[in-house]
Amino acid sequence: MCAAVVSDLTYDARVWKEARSLANAGYRVRLIGCKYELTASRCRVEGQIEVVEIPLGTRRGRISVVVRAVTLLRLWLAVIRTPARAYHAHNIHVGPAAWLASRPRRAKLVYDAHELYDEASGGLPLPVVTAPLTRVVERFMVRRSDAVFTTNLSRVDHLRERYGRASIEVLANVPRRVDDVVPLDPGYPSGAPIILYQGGIYASARAFRETIEALSKLADAQFVIIGFGRDNDLNLIRRWADEYAVAERVHLLPPRPFDELVRTAAGASVGLVPIRATKTNHRLGDTNKLFEYLMAGLPVAASDLPEIRRVVTQGDPPVGELFDPNSPSSIADAIRRVLVDPAYERRRREARRLAVEKFNWEIEERRLIGVYQSVFTEAASTGAMKSEASSPGP
């Protein structure tokens, strides 16, 4: 099978989990994606997976429309040239190429909706131009694919209502189960509570400014950000830290490999999920980091959004507290409630229990493999029926 995505493969945990699960189940997998700071396309083998990486430009400076267009063209060509029995599009940008490749080969088409695109450009430049196109492609992929996945039940309901497809499966953004979590210190300051954010640093799209202002209301707490971001986002974080006179308590640390994130989270005091509900995609979303925090046994303070609320309110006591991401006071109060809670250690144990029992990839993996088996079983059955119908009678 051929899996393709427009993202930096280095940090795309969902794509790698699916590819490894399918490879372990006996599928031959070619994974086609991107990588920043790469000067030329390259092929390599990682475990049982053949990996093709296309240059994605640089994280420094502004996004180049030309570079992104060239990258997309190279990805399309790599997908179309790959013979496969199934094409798995991890976002709509590679969807048309996956569909084109599947038609002459009579292969199966799988669409994996990491995000919703009916209101936005999905991160592409020139959103006014690309947004209408992404809506058209999303509709096409949801309706024409042999199997469709998305990340949670709210997104399933949204796609069903908007595009009229009943059969959409959930593959949650959860980490692999870690039975023995050994904390890993990425460079935390000592002697103070650690508020941790792990993941992509999108300064304006997340409630970073409000969190930094909230930090001024939380004596002694340290805000640690582990992740990747463009220069303008990192500079905004530094500017806001100076503006609210908390620069000595805001720490920008480099990204870690995604298979280390549970261990780095284990050394913090509270995990932060500061999602803004500016679009349907964000309002109905969840995030890898939420479930990584739980696997680490880390209580959370998180935006009060439907899917996040569904997770954070579970446990006895609940594994976290909710806040309004537009209110620094609300953020500060939620973090404070976690840190001063006499049941803080019980929250940590509940977070681990829920992750080990419910929110782990070993559970989701069975659904992924089951859908693939069903798709190919159906194809084999249909082929046999057609062959029988075309055979001459006795």
Q: Give the count of beta carbons closer than 10 Å to the beta carbon of residue 96.
A: 17
Residues 212 and 334 in one domain: yes
Domain assignment present for residue 184? The answer is no
Instruction: Please name the amino acid found at residue 87.
Output: Y
What is residue 127's predicted lDDT score, i.e. its pLDDT? 55
Furthest CA-CA distance within the chain: 89
**In-domain check, residue 166:** yes
Length of the chain equals: 394
Q: Which of 196, 174, 173 is nearest to 183 (CA)?
A: 196
183 belongs to a structural domain: no
Q: In what order do the strands lie in the sheet with 300-303?
A: 250-253, 222-226, 194-198, 270-273, 300-303, 320-323
Q: Are residue 150 and residue 28 in the same domain, yes or no?
A: yes
Same domain, 30 and 169: yes
CATH of the domain at 29: 3.40.50.2000
Full domain range(s) for residue 343 = 194-357
**Banded pLDDT at 278 (limits 50, 70, 90):** confident
Asked if residue 248 and residue 112 are part of one domain, the reply reads no
Q: What is the mean pLDDT of residues 227-254?
A: 96
- Positive/negative CA dihedral, 312, 313, 318, 320: positive
Q: Are residues 113 and 259 in the same domain?
A: no
Q: Do 88 and 108 touch, CB atoms closer than 8 A? A: no
Summarize the confidence of residues 369-388 as an average pLDDT.
67
292 is a domain residue:
yes
Tokens of 232: 């303008």
Q: In terms of domains, do 211 and 267 share one?
A: yes
Please state, for a pLDDT cut of 70, what percent of the chain lies above it: 93
Q: Evaluate if pTM is beyond 0.85.
A: yes
Query: Residue 206 corresponds to which amino acid?
Result: R
Query: Quick one: 200 and 345 in the same domain?
Result: yes
Report if residue 277 sits inside a domain.
Answer: yes
Burial bucket for residue 160 (CB in 10 Å: 0-12, 13-18, 19+): middle
For 26, phi then psi, to 5°, come to: 105, 0
Co-location of 235 and 165 in the same domain: no
Residue 142's pLDDT band, with cuts at 50, 70 and 90, is very high
pLDDT surpasses 50 at 383: no
Position 4 confidence tier, pLDDT thresholds 50, 70, 90 = very high
Q: What is the structure's pLDDT at 389? A: 38
Does 50 score more than 80 pLDDT? yes
Per-residue pLDDT of 78-133, as tens digits, reads 999 999 999 999 999 999 999 999 999 999 999 999 999 876 544 444 555 677 78
> Given strand 147-150, what is the order of strands in its sheet?
42-46, 49-55, 29-35, 2-8, 86-89, 108-113, 147-150, 169-170
> Is residue 329 domain-shared with residue 380, that is, in the same domain?
no
Please give the distance of CA 102 from its chain centroid, rounded to a whole number: 25
Q: What angle do CA 332, 337, 342 make, to 5 degrees?
A: 150
Cα torsion 97, 17, 325, 297 to 10°: value is 180
pLDDT at 205 over 50: yes
Residue 380 has pLDDT above 90, yes or no: no
Residue 271 and residue 296 share a domain = yes
213 within domain boundaries: yes
Q: For position 390, what pLDDT does the model report?
A: 42
Tally of domains in the chain:
2
188 domain-assigned: no
Residues 214, 321 within the same domain: yes
Q: Are 205 and 296 contained in the same domain?
A: yes
Per-residue confidence (pLDDT) for residue 382, from 0 to 100: 47
In our burial notation (b when 16+ CB lie closer than 10 A, e otherwise), range 258-282 reads beebbbbbbbbbbbbbbbbbebbbb
Q: Rounded to 5 degrees, what are φ and ψ at 150?
A: -150, -175
Is 186 inside any structural domain?
no
